[in-house]
Amino acid sequence: MRFHYHVSLLLGLCLLGTLLNFPTQASAETFRGPRDEPNLESAFSVAGMGDTVLVGPGTYRGGLMMRAGIVLQAEHGPGTTRLVPGQDSTVVRVVGSAPNTAIVGFEISGGRVGVHCERATLIMENCVIRNQSEAGILADNQSSLWVVATVLEGNTIGIDSDAIEIEMMRVDLLKNDTGALMRSGRSVFRRCRFEENMVHVHAERRANVELGLSLRFGNELLQARDFVVVNEGDKPVQASFNYWGTADCDSILSRTQGPIVLGELGDEAFKTAVSSCEDLSD
């Protein structure tokens, strides 16, 4: 399991770094739940736009409704702070759009949906979401997400996205039935690791999916149990400079369905392109 704490590429991370270190408004406060409040629900009820709910180590019941503009942050990271289902089998529901909404440093396990974004703009960093019966992350078609240094493991679907836009950077998608189900919108994967999913990436008709596109941002696409990429749309999945565990273009294409542009293949260390599959791509 890999965590990467210092990533500055994405706009979402710039917002997050600003948010966590410099209050966005003069009245921004930090509520330590459950130390300052009896439970996380109470902390959310008193927190406002720009505030942080800082959570100490322990296991907490979910079913949380998180308003836009609040940061939910585990004080010591996912190894010590865990959210599990409450009466609602969705562990965290994020509603509404504001640039300073973030979930940082939690393990979220054992529900139906780990995080459900409803018309939300959300940054997720340094989280582990596992063993969700429906999806680790579920995003509707009016949401925008930045997911960074996060593990999605052992879910039916790692991320199920109908979002306008989603960017995933250094995310591990491991042992899910489907690693990423992209239904529509633009989805960008950079330095992610896909391993032992039944299908790594499934793109539906309205999806626009980019995998890698430069050595600096190449992904690892390893040991898919069925297909690496399934594309049901007419727009090709763009998938150059990734590491597939092989440089055999025919072997790679035999594990894809639908239009795909492979382009250059990256080596395991992402230091050089080892060959080109461009002439064979659909």
Put the strands of the sheet holding 151-153 in their side by side order: 58-61, 81-84, 107-109, 128-130, 151-153, 172-174, 193-195, 220-222
Q: Does residue 24 fall inside a structural domain?
A: no
Q: Does residue 12 fall inside a structural domain?
A: no
The whole-number pLDDT of residue 31 equals 64
Stretches where the chain sits below pLDDT 50 are 1-26
User: What is the span of the domain harbouring residue 174?
Assistant: 30-279
**Structural domain count, the chain:** 1
Q: Does residue 175 fall inside a structural domain?
A: yes
The whole-number pLDDT of residue 87 equals 75
Q: Does residue 16 fall inside a structural domain?
A: no
Q: Does residue 14 fall inside a structural domain?
A: no
Q: Does residue 19 fall inside a structural domain?
A: no
Q: Does residue 85 fall inside a structural domain?
A: yes
Distance CA 117, CA 94 (A): 5
The whole-number pLDDT of residue 8 equals 32
Whichever domain contains 264, its CATH number is: 2.160.20
Q: Does residue 1 fall inside a structural domain?
A: no
Condensed to tens digits (0 to 9), the pLDDT of residues 88-135 reads 799 999 999 888 899 999 999 999 999 999 999 999 999 999 999 999
The whole-number pLDDT of residue 100 equals 84
